[in-house]
């Protein structure tokens, strides 16, 4: 079935014409002179986008493991001089538990 005069048909015709012109690259239309340099894609970020990108780069620069701290604790453990601060450990456990509880609500 063919429907004449429909907006979809006219758009399809334009699309098919553009496709045909794209396949035949040897044909140069007189309306548009050939560009001397190819067109390049560009992206423009908002101020917030730039801030997020800067923060991501800063986080990528920070190492995942603090080697100096790990080395110090390893040496203390091997020497038998590592002391656990029970109060600090308990506070950390409670703080993490409260954060997990809040995330569930």
**CA 84, CA 87: separation in Å to the nearest integer?**
9
pTM exceeding the 0.95 threshold for the entire prediction = no
Mean pLDDT of 4-32: 62
Mean pLDDT (the chain, rounded): 80
Greatest mean pLDDT among 19-23, 31-35, 100-104 lies in 100-104
Burial of 67 (0-12, 13-18, 19+ CB in 10 A): exposed
pLDDT of residue 76: 95
**CA 98, CA 104: separation in Å to the nearest integer?**
10
Query: Around 3, how many Cα atoms within 13 Å sit in the side-chain half-sphere?
Result: 6
pLDDT in tens, 29-76: 555 555 567 788 887 778 888 889 899 999 998 888 889 999 999 999
Q: Concatenated DSSP letters for 34-98? A: PPSS---------HHHHHHHHHHHHHHHS-SS-HHHHHHHHHHHHHT-----HHHHHHHHHHHHH
Q: Which of 26-30, 39-43, 94-98, 99-103 has the lowest mean pLDDT?
A: 26-30
**CA 14, CA 18: separation in Å to the nearest integer?**
6
Which SS3 state, helix, strand or coil, does residue 7 take? Answer: helix
């Amino acid at each position: 079935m063919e429907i004449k005069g429909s907006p979809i048909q006219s758009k399809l015709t334009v699309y098919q014409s553009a496709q045909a012109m794209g396949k035949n690259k040897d044909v140069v239309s007189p309306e548009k002179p050939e560009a001397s340099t190819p067109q390049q894609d560009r992206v423009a970020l908002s101020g917030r986008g730039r801030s997020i990108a800067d923060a991501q780069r800063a986080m990528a620069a920070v190492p995942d493991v603090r080697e100096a701290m790990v080395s110090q604790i390893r040496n203390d453990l091997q020497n038998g001089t590592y002391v656990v601060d029970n109060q600090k450990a308990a506070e950390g456990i409670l703080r993490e538990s409260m954060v997990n509880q809040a995330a569930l609500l």
